[in-house]
Structure 1
């Protein structure tokens, strides 16, 4: 089973709007930060500009990936196209790691050859505007993720949340370096920003890798599935529970052990009832149940094949 058509359509619309919003915000921030970098020459500002450039690239990649991931299953992709989201997330992580390395390089160059920061006020004003826009975008993304469980939108949100910390760091660097004359703070804050970027990239890569490798749902979620199945009065036991995720979908399958004397019709009804309970607890999942007579020794996977 899958989400009902109305809910699925609403989630798809939300995901698309989130990708459009991210691209638009990134474009505006790139223009503003490029102007601020021109006036200030700050390494910290360079770091946040590069991050916004990569945000824009990643968000554009997300836009394409999400549209592809929302394409319905077809003859060649029976499980849908959800893993396009994970591929987009993995691609984002490579972009972000690259930007972190470049920022560190520029920061060390500035440490070796200190340069004063000029027009700090321009940079501070632009950064405050960036913080306000990013807060609005992150709030919208969190709403979309809570509704859709989208990995691609979550990945986008992770590094935009990191942007908030980076922008605060830029304000601190501009104040300390531009107004107090502490020139060393600018490259130091640049390196800290690079660390935040790299940490965000590692999180994105880990989530994407787990999905591409069909990692099981968490142990708590697996226990909830077992509890729901065993709560049905006619279910004796379950075995061979296997789970995975693909984009916004979760796939759950297991063998349901039932009284061997019941009719096929009753076994089918019981399975439907168990499936419905799991679907209510895990919306957006597809559940596949195989009925087994209780007491029958389950075959190994190789034997079943």
Structure 2
């Protein structure tokens, strides 16, 4: 192994360790925030009796569950490959995201039922000022968490952290909606507004669940990387003067890790040693662009794909 390859491997290992630390910290932060919000929202709901407040309490319970699932999923996903899981444990993340989506949908249905009951038999909302204060506190705390989560996602591409961040970003809108509902009910005595807002929040929760489930299914079904990323791969490979063509490009992602495999075509007169050097150089350049990727390159003499197609 050359000094360049050794340095690249060391830099990759350090980068992965840093990302693992960021992901763990993000899961601890989200669990802590969810716990705090559950306590304050439970107290506010008991004092106000608002079904809109109940809706945001349920949403925080969902976030706590999702954050706990993420905590264990991220720990599992970061476990190094072993004899039984040679490609690692990255798919623990989309599995956790699917569990979140299912739980969120069930809770949204419960909220729809409760809001429907209140629409049929409206009830007054008490101590709305307390509820508004709790919502403002929730918004500030949630915005701090979302900002940190997005910082982590930009550096790790973690699906589980991204899904968790989506929950909490939605919470900001939910909390604003609850404030509006409490103000309208307290100022204009329109009791139907409280359950109406709860219905809207429930619909928003279901939409979030669908977004999470769709992203998880894409990863579990080994969907290709985005076209922009595939084009970057092609540009890097074909930029090497000894690479005449490429084919059989296949990509997928499992949690924060990406998998890239392809065939590169070079002159048939090239020595095996030179072909190996070219392949290693291309791999190192791809690794620099995709630090978390596992890359597999097969070397072919130029024109072999056309010959194979002609035989078939």
TM-score between the two structures when normalised by the length of structure 2: 0.94
Q: Secondary structure at the match of 2:298?
A: strand
Distance in 1 of aligned mates of 2:176 and 2:161:
23
Alpha-carbon distance in 2 for matches of 1:5, 1:124? 47
CA drift of 1:275 comes to 1.1
Asked if 1 retains the 8 angstrom alpha-carbon contact of 2:244 and 2:265, the reply is yes
Structure 2 unaligned segments of length 5 or more: list them: 1-7
Residue number in structure 2 paired with 1:214: 222
Quote the offset at 1:293 in angstroms: 0.4
Question: Equivalent of 1:49, from 37, 45, 57?
Answer: 57
Alignment partners' CA distance in 1, 2:39 and 2:155: 32
**Residue 302 of structure 2 corresponds to which residue in structure 1?**
294
1:209-288 pair list within 5 angstroms: 209-288=217-296
Matched with 2:41 is 33
Contact 1:74–1:80 (8 Å) recurs in 2: yes
Paired residues of 1:120 and 1:179 also in contact (CA < 8 A) = no
* Alignment match of 2:182 (pick from 152, 174, 186): 174
Separation of aligned partners in 1, 2:288 and 2:14: 16
Runs of 4+ off more than 2 Å: 297-300
Deviation of 1:212 after TM superposition, in Å, equals 0.5
Q: CA deviation at 1:95?
A: 1.1
How well do the aligned residues superpose, as a CA RMSD in angstroms?
Answer: 1.4
Structure 1 residue 151, shift from structure 2 partner: 0.5
CA distance, structure 2, for counterparts of residue 11 and residue 292 of structure 1? 35
CA contact (8 A) 2:12 2:291 kept: no
1:102 aligns with 2:102: no
* Counterpart position of 2:146: 138
Deviates more, 1:95-104 or 1:21-30: 95-104
Q: Give the whole-Å Cα distance in 2 for the aligned partners of 1:148 and 1:177.
A: 43
The equivalent position to 1:8 in structure 2, one of 1, 11, 16, is 16
| Unpaired stretches in structure 1, ≥5 consecutive residues | none
What TM-score, normalized to structure 1? 0.96
Is 1:112 the equivalent of 2:120? yes
**1:193-212 alignment to 2 at 5 Å?**
193-212=201-220
Deviation per residue, 1:193-240 (Å, 9 max, x gap)? 111111111111011000000000111211221111111111000001
